[in-house]
Structure 1
Amino acid sequence: MYPSIMIKYNISPETIVKSSEGNVVYFDEIGYGVRSDIRGLIPTILEELIRRRDEIRSRLKSLDPSSREYKLLDARQRVLKILANTMYGYMGWIGARWYSYEGASIVTYLGRRTISLSIDKAKELGLNIIYGDTDSIFVDYNIDLINELIKWVSDTLGLEAKIDKVFKKILFTEAKKRYAGLTEDGSIEIVGLEYVRRDWCDYAREAQYVIVKNLLEGASKDKLLNLFRDFVRRLRRKEVDIRKLIIWEQITRPLSEYKVNAPHIEVAKSLSQEGWRIKKGMFIGYIINKGSGPLYKRAVHYTKADPNYIDWDYYIYNQLLPAIVRILSPVGISEKTLESIARGGGVGLDMFV
């Protein structure tokens, strides 16, 4: 939604003014306005990014989703979407060369207003609102009413709205923009959860995907708990490939500029002392070993990991358990129940509940 707002209102650092005089669209609520007599650079770039993405998405409709060409083009359109969405974030980042607090403020103000007005209209039309965040709303599926809402957004707000996904089932967690859904075609869509984040090991991510997939497909509580129990059991028995235990984090600045000790930073410093060339942008993979003290003192580069020294409990309680609690607590399976299974090495009284 933010890219559409920036295009419609011509929001760019060089178009923002504090005066309401002249060719200006002024917003009294926040005390800033946008010039309309010049075209902003950011809206111009966004228009091109969106045009290219729309072309690719149009081509995707005629391709087999399992084909190599589809996957390549789908990756490209995702990149274009990310680039478009980063325009707002870059403009609002204080370290940006083209930083504009005022511009970012206008975008978020208009975003809040757009969502609020859209929710009010959806309710007026009789749509049941399930969930809403900064740029989208989820409603019960009624195609006629949804199309009426889309037309209202276009005609009244001057913005483009469309159906992004239709879910047969969806799981919302305790945090915004963290959910998983089963789409009409049977695929699993995951947003914001550990499964799609790099700073969790593959084993925890895999477990979360398997369990949330089964949950959305209608698995019973017993089956979900048994799946979790099996993931715990494999860790207890050290049957997991250590490559699935690697945690990856990125070096975002020169090592000398880091003031806080963190596992990947300490590992990177150790590698640097051994002759490795550590550069900004590199990803450092590490594994947590047994021992006392903070994690950064127990982290080792994955090439030096030995199963006999790995802290398997860390992976049970700090990687696997939190990832599964997040997706099972919303459906009534408590953290206490899952902790019981984790402590019991895969066997717990909960199996009789």
Structure 2
Amino acid sequence: MTSTDLQGFSLTRHWRDAPTGTEIEYWLATEAGPRKVVLTSRRSVAFVAARHRAAVEAHLAAMPGVQLRELELRNFQQEVVLGVYATHFRQIGRLARALQAQGIPLLEADVRPHDRYLMERFITAGVRVEGGRAEGATLVDCKLSPAPEFRPVLKVVSLDIETSQHEGLYSIALDGTSERVVFMLGEPPPEPDEPMDFSLVYCPSRKAMIEQLNDWFERNDPDVLIGWNVVQFDLRVLQKTANDCGVPLLLGRERRPIEWRTHPGKQGYLFAPTPGRIVLDGIEALRAAVWSFPSFSLENVSQTLLGEGKAIGDEYDKMAEIERRYQHDKPALALYNIRDCELVLRIFEKAKLLQFMMERAQVTGLQADHFGGSIAAFSHHYLPRMHRLGYVAPNVGEIESKAYPGGYVMDSKPGFYDSVVVLDYKSLYPSIIRTFLVDPVGLVEGSNAGDPTGLIHGPQETVFSRDRHCLPQIVTTLWHARDEAKRAKNEPLSQALKLLMNSFAGVLGASECRFFNPKLVSAVTLRGHEMMKLTREFVEERGYEAIYGDTDSIFIWLRRTHTNEEAHAVAARLAADINDWWARTLREEQGLQSFLEIEVDTHYKKFFMPTIRGSEVGSKKRYAGLSVDAAGKEEMVYRGLEMARSDWTPLARQFQEGLLSRIFQGEPYKAFVTDYARATLAGAKDDLLIYRKRLRHRLDDYLVNVPPQVRAARIADEHNARVGRTQQYQKGGWIQYVMTRNGPEPLETRHSRIDYEHYLTRQLQPIADAILQPMGESFAALTTSQRELFEPGSP
């Protein structure tokens, strides 16, 4: 039996050294169900400069199965390299360490076999399987090739657990398949439970719960496991419970265990590779898709996206209520447990997270549950193309890490403006790479060219080849794919392509990347500086004024009030003229085709650029405006101001929004300021006084500088310890507190009177003065009488 013309989508990948060579294992989702593909007796490869042949051969006597081969490849120093071929991948690692002790680099020794096999065949996630033989349900020694259009329907399960406050397992809920179930610790009640739309299975022990869970996964066989903090909490607790009970946790396909790994640079952070199944955490998936929330708690995200949530109460009420339900009303606990599973499923559906993660896998070449990974994605695309140009990649650290220029940020001109338009360069850094042919191999070729004629000269004396490069073609392919995705209204694919393209310049500037080179990334960023300065000159030659610019956007004051139609027409003309100028200039002066494209972003009917607090210098990355689109729809926009920042109180954010919107709309604002101050002092806005801040370190790490949130957290946990509750903040987290006359106090145990003067002087006054001073007003002048007349309210 053969597997001719079977298409699959890569779920997981793995390698292991077997007696006959390295074996590579891929689990695929196909239209016919899951399939395991095993490639046997694979040889691993790395590269070394030919001048080190003798030193390498001295180690080979102790490494049977390792051979050297002459190749037509060079390193970035233009030296000929030899291929080091090994029966086992671990031999490559041992040789690399031995040579490193002699100061000899073994190149590409860290590229894992399952990744190299895919990248050298230009396979990302979609796979065509041909030939080979079938051994049961396993396909052995097939030929794999790209199938970029294939997308299967994946079988998804949402998992959630409930525990005691000390992580004692109470229940496990599973939703998303036809067998919706909650496994509950305890004996069944004498009277049958009320009918529910899921099964409630009582288990006499936690060992039995784990065994039931193992059987459920084998029976239902999902492709994807999702949850909320599912790796760091749910799966971790399940694994600990299984270990304590002396029973294996077998959630992988073929009843295999999770292959736990720890993060090398993030203490306590776990990875949970699970054979044959993708594990997606909702929080990580949202962040990967560039969703932003003040809090990524399931309650907050579900309320924001779905308009509903868990609504059990705060963290203490929740634990108490879980305990009460477990002791007295297990069906109610089961309902709460599976409700969390349902919310996660609906969030994934609403935000199209599974589609995004699948498209991201197809675009990047990374496993779908590999979050982050911009460097790995770059390498997946770059290495095979570089090899075909005759080069092997350098190792990480070959070039010393040092600073390089970032994006261009123009000095701002603070104040209030009418009719400001914003033009934005579309995918600025990718377009620079395409236009000016910025590329690691191109830089090597240009730097070593005997004849400089025809080379492209860039910033910091960089020179690039016009015809030997890889990255511009990669960007071009992704660019066209994104345009097609946008035409097809495939937003998850469009977003994945955009994020990958925009990551490339950052990858070149990351010291952890094997292609890191400050000159290389500067050839992108400094070209961006030059472009923004020339764009500013172009705009001002037309009689307009550039009042601010940031990386790829320029803010242009039209110098007089324009109607919305007039402003959009001016902006469109400017964009067209700038694009024509780039195309003509680059063609005539350098013989380059321009892929630089500036477009109309926004028209601000009213615009405000503040000063840096306490000075007359214009701020950067902070502004507000009343935008109007081409159809006339208005929207208040805040960037970097207190209104857009979660570390300011709701009192400050609502005040700033109210004041600016009144000024932008030409409405009276003085009474608003005085009334807001009066209401604050009277205690009418006490529900808006809450600070919510993150504790980024353990509490005991704060020794010298102890900020208010840490003081509040220590008070809260001292109180928790006194009343026998779990301490919430010892390892960090988020704390909510208010400022009282006795300093910061957490919401859990506030007893002092509110310090209203703090909120007036530290929250409202800085915001008000930044807005009012350009108009000759001040917060103190408007509110002094309020403080004299009003005695601060009671707690």
Q: TM-score, with normalisation over the residues of structure 2?
A: 0.35
- Could you say which structure has the greater relative contact order, defined with CA pairs below 8 angstroms and 6 or more residues apart? 1
Structure 1 counterpart of 2:784, from 318, 340, 343 = 343
Residue range with higher mean Cα deviation, 318-327 or 195-204: 318-327
1:52: Cα distance to partner?
5.7
Distance change >3 Å, CA 161–CA 314, structure 1 → 2: same
d(CA) in 1 for partners of 2:493, 2:622: 23
CA distance in 2, matches of 1:279, 1:15: 51
Q: Which amino acid aligns with 2:682?
A: R
Aligned with 2:736 (options 285, 288, 294):
285
Deviation at residue 283 of structure 1 after TM alignment: 2.7
Post-superposition offset of 1:339:
1.4
Q: 2:749 aligns to what?
A: 304
The yes-or-no answer on 1:160 pairing with 2:597 is yes
1:105-120 matches, cutoff 5 A: 105-120=522-537
What is the aligned-residue RMSD (CA, Å)?
Answer: 4.2
Matching residue within 609, 614, 617 for 1:172: 609
Aligned residues: 318
Q: C-alpha distance in 2, partners of 1:323/1:88?
A: 36
**Distance apart, 1:106 and its partner CA:** 3.7
In structure 2, C-alpha distance between the alignment counterparts of 1:256 and 1:24, rounded to whole Å: 57
Q: SS of 1:30's equivalent?
A: helix
SS class of match (2:753): coil
**Is the contact made by 2:700 and 2:730 (CA closer than 8 Å) also made in structure 1?**
no
User: Which residue of structure 2 lines up, in the alignment, with residue 325 of structure 1?
Assistant: 769
- Pick closer, same or farther for the CA change 1:257–1:344 going to 2, 3 Å: same
Task: Show the counterpart of 1:67.
Answer: none
Q: Distance in 2 between matches of 1:48 and 1:177?
A: 29
Give identity over the alignment, percent: 24
Query: Residue 573 of structure 2: which of 137, 144, 159 is its match?
Result: 144
After TM superposition, list the pairs within 5 Å mapping 1:138-287 onto structure 2.
138-139=555-556, 140=558, 141=567, 142=570, 143-153=572-582, 156=585, 158=594, 159-174=596-611, 175-184=619-628, 185-219=633-667, 223-242=668-687, 244-258=688-702, 260-271=705-716, 274=721, 275-278=726-729, 282-287=733-738
- What CA deviation, in whole Å up to 9, does each residue of 1:319-346 have, x standing for no partner? 111122222223x133xx3113333227
Q: Larger % of strand: which?
A: 2
Structure with bigger gyration radius: 2
- The residue type equivalent to 2:644 in the other structure is V
| Structure 1 unaligned residues grouped into runs of 5+ | 61-72, 292-297, 349-353
- Given candidates 751, 760, 764, the residue that maps to 1:316 is 760
Over residues 129-184 of structure 1, what are the superposed CA-to-partner deviations in whole Å (9 max), with x where a residue is unaligned? 34334332222231433421243346646322111101222122121222211122
Quote how far apart the aligned CAs of 1:230 are.
1.1
- Partner of 1:129: helix, strand, or coil? strand
**What is the letter of the counterpart of residue 183 of structure 1?**
S
Is the Cα contact below 8 Å between 2:739 and 2:745 reproduced in 1? yes
Which structure shows the bigger proportion of residues in helix conformation?
A: 1
User: For 1:299, what is the secondary structure of its paired residue?
Assistant: strand
Aligned with 2:598: secondary structure?
A: coil
Alignment equivalent of 1:30, drawn from 454, 460, 466? 460
- Give the match's secondary structure for 2:555: strand
Partner SS state of residue 183, structure 1: strand
Q: Give 1:53 shift.
A: 9.5
When residues 131 and 8 of structure 1 are mapped into structure 2, their CA distance, relative to the original with a 3 A threshold, is closer
Instruction: Output one character per residue of 1:52-111: Cα deviation in whole Å (capped at 9) or x when no partner.
Output: 699569959xxxxxxxxxxxx8x99999988876776676577x6777654554443222
Contact 1:287 1:301 in 2 (8 A): yes
Amino acid at match of 2:447: S
Distance 1:87 1:206, change over 3 A: farther
User: Deviation digits for residues 244-289 of structure 1, max 9, x if unmatched?
Assistant: 2122222334445445321223333444554334487833222111
Letter in 1 for 2:647: D
Distance in 1 separating the partners of 2:782 and 2:489: 48
> Any idea what SS the aligned residue of 2:551 has?
coil
Q: 1:129 to 1:8 in 2, by over 3 A?
A: closer
Gap change, CA 1:35 and 1:288, over 3 Å in 2:
farther
The 2-side partners of 1:266 and 1:234 are apart by 28
SS at match of 2:578: helix
Distance in 2 of aligned mates of 1:329 and 1:77: 44
**1:47/1:21 CA distance change after superposition, 3 Å:** same
Q: In 2, Cα distance between the equivalents of 1:80 and 1:211? A: 40
Task: Quote how far apart the aligned CAs of 1:189 are.
Answer: 1.4
SS in 2 for 1:226: helix
Contact 2:456 2:463 in 1 (8 A): yes
Distance 1:279 1:54 in 2: 50
1:8 aligns with 2:432: yes
SS in 1 for 2:693: strand
How far apart in 2 are the matches of 1:50 and 1:300? 55
Report the more deviating stretch, 282-291 or 147-156. 147-156
Contact 2:438-2:471 within 8 A present in 1 as well: yes
Structure 1 pair 85/268, CA: closer, same or farther in 2 (3 Å)?
farther
The answer to whether the 8 A contact 1:16-1:103 is kept is yes
Question: How far did 1:49 drift?
Answer: 9.3
Aligned residues of 2:428 and 2:528 also touching (Cα < 8 A): no
CA shift in 2, pair 1:233/1:107, >3 Å: farther
Secondary structure (helix, strand or coil) at the match of 2:745 reads strand
Q: Conserved in 2, the CA contact under 8 Å of 1:7 and 1:44? A: no
C-alpha separation between the residues in 2 aligned to 1:281 and 1:107?
Answer: 38
- Are residues 238 and 30 of structure 1, via their aligned partners in 2, closer, same or farther at CA, if it must alter by over 3 Å? same
Contact 1:153 1:161 in 2 (8 A): no
